[in-house]
Structure 1
Amino acid sequence: MFIQVIQGKCARQQELHEHLDKWRTELSAGADGWLGGTYGFTDDEMFVGVVRFESREAAMANSGRPEQGAWAEGMMALFDGPVEFHDCDDVTLMMDGGSDSAGFVQIIRGKVDDVDRLKSMMAGNTDMLHEARPEIIGGTLAIEPDGTFTETVAFTSEAAARQGEGQEPPPEVRSDLEYAMAGAEFYDLHQPWFESR
């Protein structure tokens, strides 16, 4: 799997949402290898989109389509300023990789030196995690070559997520979490929306 993360400030939220919906209805059929996406805005008008493709080649082929270029130009015009793009070939799924039925999504961006430790934490004992935190219904971990990561975690609801956060994790889990989350930024998508093939 290949993930592209799109991030930027956008006050024209409804227009951007409609523009993304237009891509789904008018352009997605010709995007071979496109799997889906998770989108939303934070309280301070930061847009974050996490788009999934089968491979980098499929994503680049989509970007090369003339109609995609015209659509992307229209999207960029809706942002308040610069837009960041992060391309990630190294993707790990947690549980089933998320769910379009999630009521709340948290995006976590950080950086680690030990990528293998982070990946084993994500792909570890998911049965134990699901038992301890049943409100977590999946996620993806996308890692860039320099160790920068974007973790997308899907929850049943924000209320359930906040309640789960209050639980004390086992010591070995807490140690891994403290390592991974040191200096990380959290983006809460209170009203996420999803697209999938």
Structure 2
Amino acid sequence: MSSILAALSSAAALMIGATAAQATTVQSITHNSVGIDQQYYSQGITIGTRYDWDTISFAFDMQSGAGFDPYSEGDLFILTEDHLGAPADLGSSTSGFLAQSNGFEDGFWTFERDVTLETGSTYYFVMGDRQNASTTQIFGNEDQMAYGHGISGLSSGAFSGIVGDLDYVLRGEIATTPVPLPATALMLMLGIGSLGAVAARRRRTA
């Protein structure tokens, strides 16, 4: 009886353990050395890991010597398509809108926890309008990049499209969604409880 209970308990533990994954912090960083002067920036990023991400934060790289100096100012929008309009046009009704930043933390824009970036998808992190916006130097590479990576600078008051690749840090956690126990696992747990009760009665009787 004890060996049966042990086997059933192990099987149940494996089923329960498979319902959720451990959340792990992940990041994506580029390191280039060309200073680019613009008032507004847009960076396209393809999520290339095996997992979806949530708990998102993002910052551009202003660099401080050889180190990383995160830059965030104003609002940042996450879109599923490139934005070639003016920064003032950005909002929840913008084509491809996914999310708008909800604050700052240590130089990073932050987003609501339920904002999720899906594996294999490309997203555009686009700065919204700022009052009295001044030119800021962000580091990157002016060579054109593939796979949707790239920056958009302002031209005649609107974003001009992909012209290079910026330095940035995108942070997040592996999105974990608890999976309901299947009916077979629930029945197995009930069976284990019943067998345990029977075994306890037999021990008391003995």
Give the shorter-chain TM-score range.
under 0.3
Larger Rg: 2
Tell me the TM-score normalized by structure 2.
0.25
Higher RCO, 1 vs 2 (CA within 8 Å, ≥6 residues apart): 2
Return the structure number with greater helix share: 1
